[in-house]
Amino acid sequence: MELVHPKLLWLLSLLAIPILIHLFHFRRHKTLFFSSLKFIKFIEQENKSTKKLKNLLILFARLLALTAIILAFAQPIIEKGNLKHSAGKNVLAIYIDNSFSMSAKGSEGELLSEARELARRMLKNTPLETSILLATNKLDGIEQRLISKIEALDYLDKIELTPINRNLEDVINWQRSFLDKENLEQQKLGNRQYIYLSDFQKSAFVMNKIEADKSHFYYPIQLLPQDPSNIYIDSVWFGSPIHKKGETNELFIQIKNDAEEATTNLELELEI
């Protein structure tokens, strides 16, 4: 099992809080005077075992709830047991979104840097015999072939931001098509794991016709920016629908800011 955020496991120390509450019972007791203690002793003997069981159940429920919340934030990825026994060479396909939106700052730095570090930890825990398909929005060069674990670790440091955007559904279809072709023409492949590291912008996260099966396992991991506001190009158009060679044309760009605060002195660079 691999944890996306293993550092959060230190929060398990908070489990000591309900245990301390259970042991010390931070309550104020009132003193009541009775002429006879027989009735009090009878009630105490009657309810002692019931109260003890009730307190233990409450403690167990609190510990279970806190553990579940902490593990949910740590995001465990559990490898299927049958991956080790399938015929053919297993494949780990990792997609790292390196569009400009991944330049936003996350909890541990730039989102792209977080994605690279997560991929690095996963690769280090991957068996040497597993083939790696490491892809970004470029989908060229080394990204168009299966590579070794060592090659993938080396390539991670070369991944940089790019203006190219990809729809996640297109990336998945490309990966599956490539691996299906590899399975038929080159070598028999076993089970395939697909891991997607992205901030999953609404414009790119479109999955309508993705069909899962017993040998394909998908793990989308969302990396969240600390400031979710975004400034983006909404539309681009020419001032005239008719273009002639050598003539100057006006190009209009509409930019939208979905943040609550206005942005000033924004630098915009357009490459054609």
pLDDT tops 60 at residue 104: yes
Give pLDDT tens digits for 36-60.
566 566 666 656 667 777 778 888 8
> Do 109 and 199 reside in the same domain of the chain?
yes
Tell me what pLDDT residue 196 has.
Answer: 93
What's the number of domains the chain is made of?
A: 2
> Do 10 and 98 reside in the same domain of the chain?
no
> Do 98 and 30 reside in the same domain of the chain?
no
> Do 93 and 174 reside in the same domain of the chain?
yes
Tell me what pLDDT residue 198 has.
Answer: 92
Residue 41 included in any domain: yes
How many helices (H) and strands (E) are present in the chain, helices listed first?
A: 5, 10
Residue 17 included in any domain: yes
Please work out, in degrees rounded to the nearest 5, the angle formed at the alpha carbon of residue 224 by the alpha carbons of 223 and 229: 140
Split at pLDDT 50, 70, 90, the class of 85 is very low
Q: Which residues of 21-52 are buried (b: 16+ CB within 10 A; e: fewer)?
A: eeeeeeeeeeeeeeeeeeeeeeeeeeeeeeee
> Do 126 and 165 reside in the same domain of the chain?
yes
Residue 268 included in any domain: no
Residue 253 included in any domain: no
Token pair, residue 215, equals: 């040998």
Split at pLDDT 50, 70, 90, the class of 82 is very low
Residue 269 included in any domain: no
Give pLDDT tens digits for 136-183.
999 888 888 999 999 999 999 999 999 888 888 889 889 988 988 888
**Going by DSSP bridges, is the β-strand pair 216-222/109-110 parallel, antiparallel, or unpaired?**
unpaired
> Do 68 and 99 reside in the same domain of the chain?
no
Share of the chain above pLDDT 70, in %: 78
3-class state of residue 91 by DSSP: strand
Lowest mean pLDDT among 85-94, 126-135, 190-199: 85-94
Of 214 and 167, the structure prediction assigns the larger pLDDT to 167
Tell me what pLDDT residue 81 has.
Answer: 47
Residue 119 structural domain = 86-222
pLDDT average, residue stretch 93-106: 90
